[in-house]
Structure 1
Amino acid sequence: MEAILAVTIPFFALVLCGYLAAWRGVLPEMAIPGLNIFVLFFALPCMLFRFGSSMPFAQLIDPTLIGIYALSALMMVFVTVAATWRRHDDGHGVDLKNAAFGALVAAFPNSGFMGVPLLAALFGDRAAGPVIGTVLIDLIFTSTLCLAIAQSHLAVGGTAPAHPIAGALRSMRGAMTNPLPWAIALGAVFAATGLQLPGPVAQIIKMLADAATPVALFTIGAVLWRAGQHAHTRTPVINYLPVALIKLLIHPLLVWSLGMLARKAGLPVPPFGLAMLVLAAALPSASNVSLLAERYGADNGRIARIIMASTTLAFVSFSLLAWAFR
Structure 2
Amino acid sequence: MILIFIGWAYARHRPVDMTAANRLNIELLSPLLVFSAMTGKNAALGQFWLLIVFATLVILGSGLIAYWVAGRLGLHKIAFSAPQMFTNTGNMGLPLWLFAFGEAHFPAAIAIFILTNLLHFTLGIRLFDRSAPLITVFKTPMVWALIAGLLVQYTLLELPLWLLKPIKMLGDIAIPLMLFSLGVRMAQFKVTRWHAGLIGGLLCPIAGLALAWPLAHFLPSAQAGILLLFGALPPAVLNYLFAEQYEQDPELVAALVVAGTLLALLFIPLALWLGLNTSIGY
Are residues 177 and 281 of structure 1, via their aligned partners in 2, closer, same or farther at CA, if it must alter by over 3 Å? farther
Cα deviation digits, residues 117-165 of structure 1 (max 9, x gap): 32111111133222222223322235533443444xxxxxxxxxxxx3x
| Contact 1:104–1:142, Cα closer than 8 Å, also in 2 | no
What residue in structure 1 maps to residue 97 of structure 2? 119
**d(CA) in 2 for partners of 1:236, 1:57:** 41
In the other structure, the counterpart of 2:274 is 324
Cα distance, 1:272–1:148 mapped onto 2, change above 3 Å: same
2:223 aligned with 1:273, yes or no? Answer: yes
Residue 280 of structure 2 aligns with which residue? none
Report the identity percentage: 24
SS at match of 2:18: helix
Structure 2 distance, partners of 1:284, 1:178, is 23
Residue matched to 1:311: 261
How far has the Cα of 1:42 moved from its partner?
1.9
Gaps of 5+ in 1: 1-11, 88-92, 152-163, 264-268
Query: Take 2:272 and 2:33, find their aligned partners in 1: how far apart are those partners?
Result: 22
The aligned amino acid for 1:130 is: A
* Structure 1 counterpart SS, 2:21: helix
What SS does the corresponding residue of 1:69 show, helix, strand or coil?
helix
Moved over 6 A (4+): none
Q: Deviations over 1:73-130 (max 9, x none)?
A: 111111101101358xxxxx423xxx21322211212112331232111111133222
CA distance in 2: counterparts of 1:210 and 1:141, whole angstroms = 24
Q: What is the alpha-carbon distance in structure 1 between the residues aligned to residue 86 and residue 240 of structure 2?
A: 12
In structure 1, the residue matched to 2:75 is 94
Match of 1:134 among 112, 120, 123: 112
- Match for 2:116: what amino acid? D
Residue 196 of structure 1: how far off its partner (Å): 2.9
- If the length of structure 1 is used for normalisation, what is the TM-score? 0.76
TM-score w.r.t. the length of structure 2 is 0.87
User: 1:42: which partner in 2?
Assistant: 28
- Distance of aligned partners of 1:212 and 1:284 in 2 relative to their CA distance in 1, 3 Å threshold: same
Give 1:9's aligned residue.
none
State the partner residue of 1:248: 205
Name stretches of at least 5 consecutive residues in structure 2 with no aligned partner: 277-282
Aligned equivalents of 1:224, 1:60: Cα separation in 2: 36
Relative to structure 1, is the Cα distance of residues 325 and 72 closer, same or farther in structure 2, using a 3 angstrom cutoff? closer
Does the 8 A contact of 2:83 with 2:256 survive in 1?
yes
Q: Give 1 or 2 for the bigger CA radius of gyration.
A: 1
Contact residue 201 and residue 256 of structure 2 kept, 8 A: yes
- Give the 3 Å change call, closer, same or farther, for CA 200–143 of structure 1 in structure 2: closer
Moved more, 286-295 or 50-59: 50-59
Letter in 2 for 1:325: G
Indicate conservation of the 8 Å contact 1:52/1:60, yes or no: no
CA contact (8 A) 1:55 1:191 kept: no
Aligned 8 A contact 1:287 1:307 in 2: yes
Is the 2:222–2:275 contact (alpha carbons within 8 Å) kept by the matching residues of 1? no
Partner of 1:157: none
Please give the alpha-carbon distance, in whole angstroms, between the structure 1 residues aligned to 2:45 and 2:221: 13
The answer for the alignment partner of 2:70 in structure 1 is: 84
Report the CA distance between 1:236 and its aligned residue. 4.5
Question: Relative to structure 1, is the Cα distance of residues 242 and 291 closer, same or farther in structure 2, using a 3 angstrom cutoff?
Answer: same
